[in-house]
Structure 1
Amino acid sequence: MKTTLEELHTFILIVDKGSISAAAEDLNQTPSGVSRTLTRLEKKLGITLLRRTTRRLNLTNEGERFLQSAREVIQALENAEEAVGSKNVLSGTLRIDSASPFILHSVVPYLAEFQQLHPEIQLELFNSERYIDLIENRIDIAIRLGNLADSSLHAVSLGQSKRRLVASPRYLKARGSPKSVEDLQNHTLIGFTDPRELNHWPLKNNGSDRYPIKPHYAASSGETILHMARNGLGIACLGDFMTIKERQSGDLVPVLQGACVEQKEQIHAVYYKNAQLSLRAGVFIKFLKSKLKNAL
């Protein structure tokens, strides 16, 4: 092997930090020393990995491909180290990404218990309302709701969550409860700015099982919509994982239950197929799946 682990690690760090100087600071080295390591790696490979400009560094096409392979090598080494270490002590950083509502309602409540089981694992949580590139953002696991379209991702099912219409008692007292789907035309409806398909509510409607709405209020985050509904602004359609506490407390009540169609949103933990799943990532997925089994 021509390259060394030090060179791979330095290359990855330069990309992740965005500059040679930032990587040097993290490595406690001089920028010139880090630059020499990068140049040495490029000479060994016979390719240019990064284009240097006065303002930024840009990966070449070869650099992008090599970066992915370099990450896999480092990940494989970490897996090997974990495998030969104590089976009861997993360590390292685990980066998890999902939409804010799922993180808040279905991950955060279980973090304390997970930390007690695995105190040496450091969790970093990221909130992305839209799908992101896992490798570019150094995400180990992304938790995604709905249908998966990216065939490059390996998916592990965590369960499914039913969508239903809800409103606050205050709103229904002021405006009355809708008796039919047609009555929704006389009510204030809260929907999504994106994705638009979430504004097709699971209701029986003229032979169809979808009822397209035109929201009076719209938001990009389900968490914002939850707060709007809880504060009496209108009727919303949300996943059960978000509203279970509010429905149990009576802060939100189901609407038009007789007209609702059973529609469950799939929930998956995803990662790239060509990247080995670290032991700590596998442990977290198994842990979260066991918790959601009784919560969804």
Structure 2
Amino acid sequence: MSEPVETSEMVAFTKTVEVKSLSRAAAELRVPRATLSRRLARLEERLGMRLLRRTTRSLALTDAGELFYRHACIALEAVRQAEQSVRMTNDVVRGDLRVSVPPMMSASFNAAVCDFAACYPELRVHVHTSNQRADLLNGNYDVALRASSQIEPGLVARTLLRDPMISVASPDYLRARGTPQTHLDLKNHRCLLGFARGELAETHWPLTSGGKFKVEGAFYANDIELLCDAALRGLGIALLPHGLVSRHLKSSALVQVLDGAIGSGMQIALVYPERTYMKPQVRAFIDAIAAWARGKVDVDAE
């Protein structure tokens, strides 16, 4: 089976036919004349037939050349239309964008989404809030915001923020129940647990040294704000993002426990299906939310 014809070879051929000169065709395509000649030779070699009769003074199409020229023009026009369709879509972002986000997003994130929608009035934005992990591979969603370091095969993640997970408790709780010295001590404590993937109750916490250990829960919630409130009210020890509890640590309303023993890195990422062609509205949304995340980091650093 012969190799497929390359677009550059078809362009070289059609341009040569149109201008009736190798030198002029090479000049208009901005390639050396020798390069143009090689492309024409490769084209004829791939097809196994002569397309042009060349003399020192003229160029003429063979019968096969006339037939191939007509089809090559159709093929190249299709390529041009495909390219133009993408460029037009990029100029005016329109259609639908379906986004999945976890609940309790910040006011600044909500503002970023509203600003994005305002920038693209011809785009219909669908934002679905849920603790359950959206299935991005079945086509129901274009992009999702996730706080996770685990990405399924077939998906791409663009990390926006990184935030360590730390274990915290209120001073009142620790005065009443004591401060754990190792993770093994947690079997005598009340643990406030979340839901893995937003669906299944947690059964293990991570060790900073690697691996994980089993924990028994006294309180469960798939809302980290509620887990934080439970820790503030002295209900037990919770594993929460540092960014969520930092102000409570500064005010001493919460205290970090088992520092350096328990915890993991959490990444907040935009996740989308791995495709060669990305919808313009998806690319525009990713860029907008990435800009929001950069601004959030700058504000937090001040």
CA distance in 2, matches of 1:80, 1:249: 53
Q: Is contact 2:117–2:125 with CA below 8 Å preserved after alignment?
A: no
* Structural mapping, 1:95-244, within 5 Å: 95-101=98-104, 104-105=105-106, 108-112=107-111, 115=114, 119-121=118-120, 124-134=126-136, 138-195=140-197, 198-203=202-207, 209-244=211-246
Q: Is contact 2:99–2:144 with CA below 8 Å preserved after alignment?
A: yes
- Normalising by structure 1, we get a TM-score of 0.57
CA distance in 2, matches of 1:151, 1:115: 31
- Normalising by structure 2, we get a TM-score of 0.56
The Cα of 1:187 is off from its aligned counterpart by 1.6
The counterpart of 2:292, out of the listed 262, 268, 288, is: 288
Q: Deviations over 1:72-111 (max 9, x none)?
A: xxxx9996445335xxxx777654312225xx24xx3243
The Cα of 1:169 is off from its aligned counterpart by 2.6
- Secondary structure class of the residue paired with 1:216: strand
The Cα of 1:225 is off from its aligned counterpart by 1.9
Q: Is contact 2:102–2:130 with CA below 8 Å preserved after alignment?
A: yes
Q: Deviations over 1:1-28 (max 9, x none)?
A: xxxxxxxxxxxxxxxxxxxxxxxxxxxx
AA aligned to 1:242 is L
The Cα of 1:256 is off from its aligned counterpart by 1.7
Q: Is contact 1:94–1:280 with CA below 8 Å preserved after alignment?
A: no
TM-aligned CA distance change 1:116 to 1:147, over 3 Å? closer
TM-aligned CA distance change 1:77 to 1:234, over 3 Å? farther
Q: Is contact 1:91–1:280 with CA below 8 Å preserved after alignment?
A: no
AA aligned to 1:221 is D
Percent same amino acid among aligned pairs? 25
- Secondary structure class of the residue paired with 1:139: coil
Q: Is contact 1:91–1:120 with CA below 8 Å preserved after alignment?
A: no
AA aligned to 1:83 is N
CA distance in 2, matches of 1:291, 1:200: 34
Q: Which runs of 5+ in 1 are unaligned?
A: 1-75
Counterpart check, 1:264 vs 2:265: yes
Q: Is contact 1:142–1:270 with CA below 8 Å preserved after alignment?
A: yes
Aligned partner of 1:53 in structure 2 is none
How many residue pairs match? The answer is 210
AA aligned to 2:268 is I
The counterpart of 1:83, out of the listed 73, 77, 90, is: 90
CA distance in 1, matches of 2:164, 2:235: 22
> Could you say what the CA RMSD is over the residues aligned between the two structures, in angstroms?
3.5
The Cα of 1:234 is off from its aligned counterpart by 0.6
Q: Is contact 2:145–2:269 with CA below 8 Å preserved after alignment?
A: yes
